[in-house]
Structures are given as C-alpha cells and as structure tokens.
Chains A and B, each alone.
Chain A
Amino acid sequence: MFDLLGVPPQVLFGQLLLGLINGSFYALLSLGLAVIFGMLNVINFAHGALYMIGAFVAWLLLTKLGLGYWWALGLSPLIVGLLGVALEKTMLSRLYKLDHLYGLLLTFGLALIMEGAFRHFYGVSGQPYPIPDALKGGQNLGFMFLPNYRGWVVVASLVICFGTWFAIERTRLGAYLRAATENPVLVQAFGINVPVMITATYGFGVALAGLAGVLAAPIYQVSPLMGTNLIIVVFAVVVIGGMGSILGAIVTGLGLGLLEGLTKVFYPEASNIVVFVVMAIVLLIKPAGLFGRER
C-alpha cells in the first residue's frame, strides 16, 4: 500500500469517516441555528444549552422513568421544543422589534442560567448513558472498526438534515415561512397566522438541538458542559456557511467535520483551531459566508 505523507490509507479513511460522524453533529446543530436565524433573525446562543438539556432529558427519562433510548428520541426533542416555545412566547417575542444584540444577550444569559442550574444539581463530571442494545457492537470495515451506533448517527442526521431542507425549500409550508420572513405584514394579510408560525419555527429549531443531544448522549458523558464545548465551533460553522443558509449549514457542517478529521491525522495540536482559521479566511474573502447572500 502507498502512504500519503507518511500516513497509511487505512488511518486516513478511518479519520475521514470519524470526521463525517462529527460533521453530522455540527450539521444538525448548525441547521437548527440556521433555521432560527433565517426565519426569526435571532442569534440563538441558548442552542448549546438546549442541546445539553436534550441529552439530560434522555438521561432523566432513563433513570427516573425507565424509558429507554427510542422513547427519548421522540420525547426529548418534544420536551425541548416545548421549552423553546415557552421561551419564545414569554421572552424572545418581545425583542423582535429591537436590535439583534438584545436577542443575542437574552439567549446568552438564558444559556448561562440553564448550564449553571444543571451544574449545581448534577456536577460537571457527567452521567453515563448506555448505548441502546439494538445498536451495540460494530462492523469491521477492514480499515477501521465502526461502532454501529456511530453509523446510525450519520444516517439519522443526514435524513433529518435533508428532510428539513426539503420542508423549507420545497413545500408550501416552507414557502409561507420564507414569505413571512420577507414581508410579514403582507403574508398576514393573506390570512396566515404569522406569530404562530414564528413560534413553531423556534420550537422546531431548538427541538433539533434536543434531538442532537439525545444522539450525543451515548457517545459523550451527559454533562452540563457538553453544550459549551460544542457551540463555539457550531457558530463558526454557521458563519462560514452563511448566516441563515440551510444548505450552507449542512454542507459546511459535514465539510468542517472532515477537515477537522484530517487535521487530527496530520497535526493534532491544531485540531481545535482549524475551524476558526477557515472562518477567518472565509470572512476575509467572502464576508457573507460560502452560501450566504449579502443583506
């Protein structure tokens, strides 16, 4: 076998596959952010905290009620989504007329409160969450051992990402949504209840974060810090992809996952900054992001 810059191809393929897995998480989280920003013009800094809550709800369902992974996969996003609806109705909706900065500060504050509360009650070391029995074990692909669960994560997130893109870009409901963001007054005049649609969109966006949390629970420790660790990278993904661009969020999420995987092979020390280097370059060359439009 030939070596590429001293790295055997088995290792390279393995790392690319892992990059794809991490990229799936980036894509799923940045998708929710992009949907919310695109439709509501709110920069949702609470996204990481809601992702963490999604994982914690799964853990609580398992330990307090004995409801396993598959239940959590449905219930946890629902609960997080309802929490999102409550936040939107009681707080966020009052800020739409003000500058973006207020929405950002509000959601940032909410994130700190939510993380602080969970840290107080559950500590920082995290709680163990087992991999569901049906997805235990793994496949030997020749070049690496792929745990079944990680394979499932990639498939699940690709399906969800594509589904969301399709719903917003190719269906009638999506068309209403896009129209409502362009001109809410006119759309309302056609008899469509815009405020309800906006609330539902926020609920859906954060439900995606909750879902990502459930998917992450068996891989990482369910810990109050899990959102903070991830959210900065996810924001970088959204900036690179272009604020509010759904396709941009998905493609950039997966792409950066791959890039990070490659960095871990060739120069591991830089793996946590490579995303930000790319962000800086993209901002210099194409300030609206790779898939964004100038507003």
Chain B
Amino acid sequence: MLKTLLCGTALLALTAGAAQAQVSNNVIKIGVMNDRSGIYADLAGEGSAIAARLAAEEFGGKIAGAPIEIVVADHQNKADIAANTAREWIDAGNVDVIADVPNSAAALAVQGITKDKKRIFLMSGPGSTDLSGKSCSPYGFQWTYDNYAMAAGTARALVDQGKKSWFFITADYAFGHSLEDETTKMVKQLDGKVAGNVRHPLGTADFSSYLLQAQASKADVIGLANAGGDTTNAVKQASEFGITQSGQSLAGLLLFISDVHALGLPAAQGLMLTTGFYHDMDDQTRDWTKKFEAKAGRKPTMVQAGVYSAVRHYLKAVEAVGSDDPDKVAAKMRETPVNDMFAKNGKVAANGRMFHDMYLAQVKAPGESKAPWDYYKIVKTIPAEQAFLDPAKSGCPLVK
C-alpha cells in the first residue's frame, strides 16, 4: 500500500508535462524548444513557435526550393531533457537550427551540444550572460536580452533615483545566480551596496518568508532575480505584506508582459522594468503584433518577438548564402545588420550577442491604461552600446 503511494508520488514528481517531438528529412528544419507546460510556457511556449512560423511565412515557406519546417519540443525546464532533445533532433531529426530555449540551465546544455555538432543556436529565452561569455559558441546567438542588459537598465535607473541599498530574492539556479551577479556588479559600480540575499527553489508558491527577510534588511530596493510565475507570486505577496506601501521599492529584474498581464495593473503598477520589445512602439510592431495575436490570442512577449527576429535573420542569411552550411550562415549572420520590426540596425558581435536598443519602461496605473494590454510607459531608450556588455569584457574566447 505504502509502496504504491510512494511509487505514485515519484511518478507525479517526474511527469510534470509531456514532451513531444517530430521528425522529418532534408529540409530547412527549425526546432523551437522551450517550456510548453510549466511556469515559462506563457512567456515562450507555443507563442515562440507561432513567431517562428510567422518568420517562415515571410519567405513563402521555402528557400531555394527547400521547404521550411518547424518542429517543437517541451524541455520541461530540465537541462537533461533539453540536451537529449537537442541530440536527438540533430542526430536523427536533421534539425538545422534550434531556437528559443528559455531557462539558462537548459540553454547552457544545448549550447554545448550545438557547438560540438556545429548547428546554429538562436537564443531568445535564456538570460545568462555566460551564453555569450565564457560559454559562447561560434554558432550561438543570444538575441533578445541578457541579464547584464536587465541589470544595466533597471538597476541603473533605480540607483540613479538614490535607491542605493539592495536585497535580492533569487531563483536558485543558473539564471537567477547570473542575474543577481550582474545586478550586484552594476549596483556596486554605481556606489550602491547589497544588504543581503536569499535563494528560493524554482517554482515557489509562497514568498512570504523571503519577503519578510527582505523587509527586515531595510534595503531601499528588493530585487527579484527570478522570472515568470515566481516573479508574479512575489510581487503579489509583497503588496499583501505592505512592503511597497512602507517605502521599499520592488524591482522585477526580469519581467515579461505576460507577467504584468497575469498580475493585473492594480498589483503591478509602478514597477520599473527593462524590455527589448513592446508591441505598441510603432506601426511596424503594431502590424506584426496583429498577425501574432490573430494566431496566439494574446500579445507577444519580448521572447516571442525575439524568436521571430532571430529566425528571420537566420533565414535571410540562408537565402543569401544559398545553403544551410552552418559556418557560412553564421558568418553571414554576423556581417549582416538586423533590421526588422524588433531591431533597428542591430549588429551581431563576435561573441554572438546581438546588439540592439533596449527600453526602460514603467507599468501604468489602472487609470492610465486605455485598452487591454496597454501596460507600459516607455521611460527611455537605452542605446545598444550601453544596454549590453562590451564583448571584449564578456570573457568569450572568440573575441580577440
């Protein structure tokens, strides 16, 4: 009896969702791998696959007679599943390029495999700066954002307002650690100090304990070095415990529009954040968003918009080179500027980091929002050179 129960519990722990993979031959095959069922499924998930399909449609679904095919898989936020899927895709599935892969732990695993097996890897979801730093790859492109950019945008804005002491609530895995490190460096560089930190497991429901420790630290800012559902729960419970009312500021170091939507404006209003994309910037973003929304039923996050931009840039390079040879395509991608609805005059640096402007935004108050999803005030544009780390300092061996 007891044994049955224990087996069942183990079974439940192992199967948080179901993976799916599809196989085919001899085409331009794009594998969109991300979290399709867990806490990052709304910010990436099927929306990223839709974005990739929109990019493929712009080429009429084929290049030089070869059809473009898009396959998807759920890595369930587990690095081992991500690694196995990547190997299977490349060895048996003829996948030419892997896209998205949020969750830095999973992305680091895939980066290692695509580097060995010479396949292009278009990272939109993961934030760890190691991916364009010490773990960079000649075939790896980090597209949408990274933890340095988040720190440079949000932390600098808050420290400039005089909020110099920080306490971190950090997701306890590669991404959270990297985001905390980058922000700490930035805060210290600007003469701020770090009052303390606490680490929580990925997918925590109750943040009250951590928030209480943050409150006791009397820091000016509580930095949330986590993402997705973890961030929304922390923000919601911070307002319950009267943290923002008592004068401490809350900074979502990585906040997506899907998180703001889930929180609702009453809980999220006033939060400062850095983003690579907002759907209501200009006619180009609005047009693209319309197409996306028709298929996805919601507005795109910056990760999904980034998948579109990266896949489109890859396909343009394939078209220009006339082959999908990874070395030639990667070289072409590095020398061509990125111009689309996502990036204006974007450039890919030697370490694989795509340099484009980022935006500092503030979440609107309920009274200011005129329509559904009218959530951000763009406070300022952060030019690409300030937004991202200088490749020479990234620690990437490819930068000479």
Instruction: Please report A residues at the B interface, Cβ cutoff 8 Å.
Output: 8, 10-11, 14-15, 18-19, 21-22, 43, 45, 100-101, 104, 108, 112, 119, 123-128, 130-131, 138, 144-145, 147, 149-150, 219-221, 223, 225-226, 228-232, 235-236, 239, 243, 261, 264-265, 268-269, 271-272, 283, 287, 295
Contact = CB atoms under 8 A, between A and B. Distances in A.
A72 to B, nearest CB: 18
Given A225-B229, A226-B205, A268-B198, A101 B237 contact: no
Interface string B1-36: 110111011011101100000000000000000000
Q: Contact residue range for chain B?
A: 35 or more
Given A221-B262, A243-B1, A272-B201, 17 more contacts: A22-B206, A43-B5, A45-B8, A100-B1, A100-B4, A119-B37, A123-B42, A124-B42, A145-B215, A219-B236, A220-B205, A221-B232, A221-B233, A221-B263, A236-B9, A268-B200, A272-B204
Contacts of B5: 43, 104, 235, 239, 243
A144 B210 CA distance: 13
Contact of A43 (B4, B213, B215, B266): B4
Contacts of A295: 1
Given A108-B12, A125-B258, A269-B199, A223 B229 contact: yes
A221 B232 CA distance: 8
A127 B262 CA distance: 5
Interface string B204-242: 111011101101100000000000110011001100111
Contacts of B237: 219
Among all A-B residue pairs, the 7 with the closest Cβ atoms: A125-B262, A128-B264, A264-B209, A125-B42, A272-B201, A124-B41, A123-B42
Nearest to A138: B242
A44 B216 CA distance: 41
Contacts of B12: 45, 108, 228, 231-232, 235
B39 interface: yes
B37 A124 contact: yes
A138 B239 CA distance: 11
A84 to B, nearest CB: 19
A11 B201 contact: no
Given A124-B41, A128-B236, A104 B8 contact: yes
Contacts of B242: 138, 145, 147
B52 to A, nearest CB: 19
Nearest to B265: A128
B87 interface: no
Nearest to A224: B37
A28 B12 CA distance: 21
Interface of B: 1-2, 4-6, 8-9, 11-13, 15-16, 37-39, 41-43, 45, 172, 198-201, 203-206, 208-210, 212-213, 215-216, 228-229, 232-233, 236-237, 240-242, 246, 258-259, 261-264, 266-267, 298
B8 A268 contact: no
A239 B208 contact: no
A128 B1 contact: no
Nearest to B201: A272
A127 B229 CA distance: 11
Task: State the main secondary structure of chain B at its contact with A.
Answer: helix
Interface centre among B15, B16, B229, B266 (most CB of A within 10 A): B229
28 contacts: A11-B212, A19-B209, A21-B208, A43-B4, A43-B8, A100-B1, A112-B15, A123-B298, A125-B259, A126-B229, A128-B262, A138-B241, A147-B241, A219-B237, A220-B236, A221-B229, A221-B263, A225-B38, A225-B39, A228-B12, A232-B13, A239-B5, A243-B1, A243-B5, A264-B209, A264-B210, A268-B210, A269-B201
B209 to A, nearest CB: 4
A104 B4 contact: yes
Interface centre among A125, A232, A239, A272 (most CB of B within 10 A): A125
B232 A229 contact: no
Nearest to A270: B201
B199 A147 contact: no
Given A11-B216, A124-B229, A268-B200, A239 B2 contact: yes
B270 to A, nearest CB: 16
A220 B9 contact: no
A18 B209 contact: yes
Nearest to A43: B5
Given A128-B262, A221-B262, A18 B205 contact: no
A231 B208 CA distance: 19
Contacts of B209: 15, 18-19, 261, 264-265, 268, 271
Contacts of B262: 125-128, 221
